[in-house]
Structure 1
Amino acid sequence: MWDRLLVDCNIATMDPARGVPFGAIENGAIGIQDGRVVRVGRRVELAGYQARKVEPLGGAWVTPGLVDCHTHLVFGGNRAGEYEQRLEGATYEEIARAGGGIASTVRATRSATLEQLIAEARPRLQALMRGGVTTVEIKSGYALDIDGELKMLRAARALGQEEPVRVSPTLLALHALPPEFRERRQDYVELAIASILPAVAREKLAGAVDAYCETIGFTPDEVRDYFETARDLGFRIKLHAEQLSDQGGAALAAEFGALSADHLEHLDETGAQAMARAGLIAVLLPGAFYALKETKRPPVDLLRRHDVAMAVATDCNPGTSPMLSPTLMLSMACTLFGLTPEEALAGMTRNAARALGLEAEIGTIEAGKAADLCVWRVGRPAELCYWVGLPGPERRIFAGVDQ
């Protein structure tokens, strides 16, 4: 006997094998046992099964739980004051010279205790959860020293243990050059490679590493050295690539068999071809595009032409994407980047799961996968993108339990 049987619902399974838009099953049913989906299909196909609890959903749509595959959710303080300054005419350079920008977040993150980082991040995480997120990636990268990076990742781990959500932590040691290494660039890269990477590996605090490959970040050669050590230590690879310029980051990520390359506004044909050959996911971040008032969109048609799967994420961070609404990202992905509603929803379900290496566990509604589900009171799945800032699902189910 199953634990639960959800009936009288329409199901956007997001399983492409079904061969219909959204992998949809109308008048469907979902059987759940021990936190996992055991059967999904049309209601009549599950009519002979028994469950301890049979729950009619009144024609609601059920989707996989949303997956936010790129966030910087843990950090100290915030930069709302700098946001005001920029709107009043101050430039980013002026703010940075006065000690603002990422340097201010580094100071606040380093000075915060582990408990403070957890307490500050929790409301942000809970906002994403209310929006339908059941899995979230959390990057480090705002401490930029050994103790602080470990502290950030411990905070991410604690949030995953304390909240009903799956947390996937990522080490982002090559995010920016810390102030004390401004004149000793190579020394910091060596610190990240020789000290931070092994320390994180010893504590098993992250499954993947990331880097910011950009003219204002780190060079391809620096990232390559970092990735070689990370790969030897057993980490999976992700990369901030081609956001502000084409540094060949996507091709570099492909060379290392990365899970994803993220941002990609300046991706070219060569990079797209490399991503396609390596099976990388293109993670699109419309929140940063919006907040930075960018005008160059990621080349969605190029990605489609080369059959590169696209994910969508909030990029929640204090400086360039203070975004806490996954459904707003779905809307922006369609309106700003030209994705279809089906592409956008796939981008926050099955493709986002692939971008975290978790596609065997989450991302579609299939037998054997985790019963991470969202119940939406909408007439069709496209409404998740159509309504700007839709608050979130009527019900959020994590590991088979309503939250």
Structure 2
Amino acid sequence: MWDRLLTDCHVATMVPAPGNPLGLLKNAAIGIDGGRIVRVGKRAELAGFRYKEVTALGGAWVTPGLVDCHTHLVFAGTRAHEHALRRSGASYEAIAKAGGGIVSTVAATRAASEAELVAQSRRRLHALMAGGVTTLEVKSGYGLDTATELKLLRATRALGEGEPVRLVPTLLAAHALEPGADREATVAMICEAMIPAVARAGLATSVDAFCETIAFSPAEVERVFTAARANGLPVRLHAEQLSNQKGAALAAKYKALSADHLEHLDAAGAKAMAAAGTVAVLLPGAFYALQESRKPPVDLLRAAGVPIAIATDCNPGTAPLLNPQLAMNMAATLFGLTPEEALAGMTVSGARALGLAHEVGTIAPGKAADLCAWGIENLDELAYWIGLPGPDRRLFAGRDA
């Protein structure tokens, strides 16, 4: 006997079939037991099974729970004043070089206790959950020293306890250099102290870095990646956001789960990502907030066969974005993704970017029963409405949440 049957619905399984790339099922039903999907099919096909509870969804469209695969959710303070500076014409690079940007958040984060970090971050988490997010990556990176990075990752773990959401912690080891810091000593500290300490504590599932002229060079990132792999942690990379540092090809060399931003990606980088199975994570919220003009080369990614994910990039400076539907709308409106690509970007491709395609991102037997039921007429509405409030019903592990 199953725990639950969802019926009177249409389903986007996100499992492609010939002529049906989103795996759509009309007049469908979903069987759930033990927090997992046991069967999905036409309503008539599931009529003969026994279940403890039946929930009629009133003709709603059901999708996998949304996967926000790139956020910097846990931090202290805000950088709202930088919004005003940018409106006055200051660039991201100029603000960073003047002591603003990432390092200003570092100061506030170091001063906050672990409990304060959890309390400040919980409101942001709840906003994303209300939008339909059931799996959420959370990067550290606002510590710049081992003790504070560990504090951020512990706060991430504490934040997820008791919440109906799956948090995926990432050590953003090489995020920024403190003013006056010695580059060699910083990279050595990351490789020899920070990454091993996080690995020993089991606080992160991957290691990230920022490869850019205002951050870390490809050679420095390669040292970080080597250390991550030596400590059993896969990697991902902020790449090609402000310039082409050949970061995407470097990420592919290390079989990175994802390369993110990619506005300055070239053909060689796209080809390398495709060969390595590295997912492209596009972040339209940062593109919008920074008023960038160079878009990521979506046609190049399509032609190379690189999976495209979408994420909010929720962070205090360059993407204060708390609505996953708005991220999908921006991906379609600003970057030219189709509504189907935008939905895949926050479900199946987002799961792949986190190494969780075996667990979430599609509606199929054996997968976690993390689902969203949307009171919409067709799926195109998910990337059409500007800031849709969220699903009518959100399920995590098969229960309403």
Normalised to the residue count of structure 1, the TM-score between the two structures is 0.97
Q: Which amino acid aligns with 1:362?
A: V
Change (3 A) 1:375 1:290: same
After superposition, what is the alpha-carbon deviation per residue over 1:52-111, rounded to whole angstroms, capped at 9, x for unaligned? 111111100000000000000011100112212332455556655664322210100011
Looking at structure 2, the residues matched to 337 and 101 of structure 1 have their Cα atoms a distance apart, in angstroms, of 25
Q: How does 1:10-25 map to 2 (within 5 A)?
A: 10-17=10-17, 19-25=19-25
Preserved CA contact (<8 Å) 2:93 2:214: no
Aligned partner of 1:198 among 196, 209, 220: 196
Looking at structure 2, the residues matched to 189 and 285 of structure 1 have their Cα atoms a distance apart, in angstroms, of 27
Aligned partner of 1:141 in structure 2 is 141
Looking at structure 2, the residues matched to 35 and 379 of structure 1 have their Cα atoms a distance apart, in angstroms, of 28
Aligned partner of 1:58 in structure 2 is 58
Q: Which amino acid aligns with 2:328?
A: L
- Secondary structure in 2 matching 1:210: strand
TM-fit CA distance, 1:271: 0.4
- Secondary structure in 2 matching 1:296: coil
Report the identity percentage.
Answer: 64
Looking at structure 2, the residues matched to 307 and 270 of structure 1 have their Cα atoms a distance apart, in angstroms, of 13
Preserved CA contact (<8 Å) 2:99 2:179: no
Aligned partner of 2:183 in structure 1 is 185
Aligned partner of 2:248 in structure 1 is 250
Residues matched between the structures, number:
401
Looking at structure 2, the residues matched to 194 and 178 of structure 1 have their Cα atoms a distance apart, in angstroms, of 18
Aligned partner of 2:286 among 285, 288, 309: 288
Aligned partner of 2:175 in structure 1 is 175
Aligned partner of 1:213 in structure 2 is 211
Looking at structure 1, the residues matched to 114 and 366 of structure 2 have their Cα atoms a distance apart, in angstroms, of 36
Q: How does 1:3-402 map to 2 (within 5 A)?
A: 3-17=3-17, 19-89=19-89, 95-96=95-96, 99-179=99-179, 181=181, 184-402=182-400
Looking at structure 2, the residues matched to 247 and 91 of structure 1 have their Cα atoms a distance apart, in angstroms, of 19
Looking at structure 2, the residues matched to 33 and 106 of structure 1 have their Cα atoms a distance apart, in angstroms, of 44
Change (3 A) 1:21 1:257: closer
Q: Which amino acid aligns with 1:324?
A: L
- Secondary structure in 2 matching 1:397: strand
For the aligned residue pairs, the C-alpha RMSD in angstroms reads 1.3
After superposition, what is the alpha-carbon deviation per residue over 1:13-32, rounded to whole angstroms, capped at 9, x for unaligned? 11114641421100000000
Change (3 A) 1:17 1:330: same
Q: Which amino acid aligns with 1:130?
A: A
Looking at structure 2, the residues matched to 97 and 352 of structure 1 have their Cα atoms a distance apart, in angstroms, of 32
* Structure 1: 4+ residue segments shifted above 3 A: 88-99
Change (3 A) 1:54 1:92: closer
- Secondary structure in 1 matching 2:329: helix
Normalised to the residue count of structure 2, the TM-score between the two structures is 0.98
Change (3 A) 1:22 1:94: closer
Looking at structure 2, the residues matched to 284 and 273 of structure 1 have their Cα atoms a distance apart, in angstroms, of 17
Looking at structure 1, the residues matched to 18 and 230 of structure 2 have their Cα atoms a distance apart, in angstroms, of 39
TM-fit CA distance, 1:249: 0.6
Looking at structure 1, the residues matched to 96 and 263 of structure 2 have their Cα atoms a distance apart, in angstroms, of 24
Preserved CA contact (<8 Å) 2:15 2:21: no
Change (3 A) 1:343 1:198: same
